[in-house]
Amino acid sequence: MSRSPLRPRLWFAVALAACSRAPAPVAPAGPPLPPLQLRPLLPEFDALAARRQAPPAAAQRELRDLADLALQIVAADPRTAGRAERALLEHPGAWWVLEPALQHEDLAVRRRAAWLCGRSSQTVLQLPLLLRLKYEKDPETVVWVADALQRLGNDTGLLWLDAAIAERTTADRAGQLAVEALQARGVDLGDEPTWATLRRELQQCVGRWRATGVPSRPDVPAPDAADLEARLAAHLVTPRGWELRPVDDARWVLRQAGALAVPMLCRALQADLHYIRTMPLQVLAELGHAAAAAADAVLPLLGDPLTAAYAARALGAIGARQHLPFLRPLLGHADSELRTAATHALGQLQDQDSAVALRQRLHDPEETMDVRVGAAFALRCLGPDQEAEAFLAEREGRGDYHAPTLARLRETLATLGR
């Protein structure tokens, strides 16, 4: 049986209801974004990763013999052991035996492997050393890994030396290595530096590292470009798999690598698969101002519906104030996730010109809680603000918002001196 047509009054009521609905928020017009230029990157990155191949068979046998002596797995007289050590450190394939030795079941071998890595000329070994740092449980081995890192140009090692000085069992060893590290950086420690002096100088170096991602140790050679690309490419393709650990390992290494990883992270932003370009955006945000050079590479992704929110957060975290004109209009975007990301970015960039719009978001009872919390955070980034502070304190007191997120916002405010 056919349906009867709607009566004229009913048509009028439907039309009136449709017209009376509040329109979806539309982002104010901003400057045009650079065009997205996405392309298939997995084959390219797979090819890069495959470039790192084992040495020829004859060289492998030589390296094993040298490693057994240099790592003191096989006993030898001091002269023979010394010659093997020097030969191994000069061998271009030393990484092939040193890298797996960092995971050896014997503590003494792991410590010796870290020591040898730090004295090699192969600065690209900082990447496997960073991964060892993530998993190492033995405190003294951690100290040797940290020392190797700082010698190879990664000041993350100084952070771990500072932490080791605070522990009774590792303080002496870490202190000795810290003195050498600081003297190599031209720091005048005087004749008898105190623990407090050492830690203060280490923390100043770590602060500069976090801000720039550039090593403070002079004359550290750059890693071999092809080897570096191959290792970073192998990390950047991990999101395509189902296993979570390789992805977590990749994020750990990339965000501890400082400015060294930024060019490859930017390259990965052009991947046609959104899950491949998402991780680099997250890592860039975690790198903060050390990734400032990535700003122009991130900007086009504000036009990508799948990763725009990640891009907005990254631009805020890396300090891309030059791109504020592209971020301000996002406060009016229809996507609440993107509005939230915009509040965080504008706050971290301390954009005073957005204060009125942010306060409107905070006051809007129809706005999502994510956006309102983000607006309160942003206003606090701009300076003391009783209303925004009261809103955040109320969320903390009532427990009606994600506590870990609130804690991270508080940490960010603390770093800004707010």
| AA letter at 392 | L
pLDDT at 8: 36
Would you call 20 exposed, middle or buried from its count of C-beta atoms within 10 A (0-12, 13-18, 19+)?
exposed
Q: What is the mean pLDDT of residues 99-121?
A: 97
Instruction: Compute the radius of gyration of the chain from its Cα atoms.
Output: 27
Reading the block at residue 65, the tokens are 């013999």
Residue 271: strand pairing partners:
39
For the chain, which residues make up each domain, given as ranges? 49-212, 323-418
Q: Which CATH class is domain 49-212?
A: mainly alpha
Q: What is the mean pLDDT of residues 64-69?
A: 97
pLDDT at 36: 95
Q: What is the DSSP letter of 192?
A: S
| Whether pLDDT at 16 is above 70 | no
Q: What is the mean pLDDT of residues 233-253?
A: 94
One fold for 49-212 and 323-418: yes
pLDDT at 219: 87
Helix count and strand count (H, E) for the chain? 23, 0
Element (H, E) at 21: none
Among the listed residues 415, 312, 407, the one whose alpha carbon sits nearest the alpha carbon of residue 354: 312
| AA letter at 263 | P
Q: What is the DSSP letter of 271?
A: B
pLDDT at 3: 39
DSSP result, 73-130: SS---HHHHHHHHHHHHH-TTTHHHHHHHTT-SSHHHHHHHHHHHHHSS-GGGHHHHH
Q: What is the DSSP letter of 185?
A: T
| Whether pLDDT at 27 is above 60 | no
Q: What is the mean pLDDT of residues 340-344?
A: 98
pTM of the model: 0.90
Sign of CA dihedral 311, 316, 319, 322: positive
pLDDT at 363: 97
Q: Which CATH class is domain 323-418?
A: mainly alpha
Give the distance, in angstroms, between the CA of residue 336 and the centroid of all CA atoms in the same chain. 25
CA distance 142 to 371: 41
CA distance 13 to 120: 80
Can you say whether residue 258 is alpha, beta or left, with left for phi > 0 and alpha for psi between -120 and 50 degrees? left
CA distance 240 to 237: 6
Would you call 3 exposed, middle or buried from its count of C-beta atoms within 10 A (0-12, 13-18, 19+)?
exposed
pLDDT at 394: 97
Mean pLDDT score of the chain: 92
Q: What phi and psi, each to the nearest 5 degrees, are found at residue 271?
A: -65, 140
Q: What is the mean pLDDT of residues 53-76?
A: 96
| Whether pLDDT at 4 is above 90 | no
Reading the block at residue 75, the tokens are 């006993």
pLDDT at 29: 66
CA distance 187 to 180: 10
Q: Tell me how many degrees the CA angle 316-235-159 measures, rounded to the nearest 5.
A: 60
Q: What is the DSSP letter of 299?
A: G
Q: What is the mean pLDDT of residues 47-75?
A: 96
Can you say whether residue 213 is alpha, beta or left, with left for phi > 0 and alpha for psi between -120 and 50 degrees? left
Can you say whether residue 38 is alpha, beta or left, with left for phi > 0 and alpha for psi between -120 and 50 degrees? beta
Q: What is the mean pLDDT of residues 127-133?
A: 98
- The residue written with tokens 């009532």 in the block is 398
| Whether pLDDT at 176 is above 90 | yes
E-state strands within 192-251: none
Which of the four pLDDT bands, split at 50, 70 and 90, describes residue 242?
A: confident
Contact 129, 152 (CB under 8 A): yes
| Whether pLDDT at 358 is above 70 | yes
| Whether pLDDT at 1 is above 80 | no
Which residues contact residue 232 at a Cβ distance below 8 angstroms, ignoring those fewer than 6 apart?
127, 254, 261, 264
Which of the four pLDDT bands, split at 50, 70 and 90, describes residue 25?
A: very low
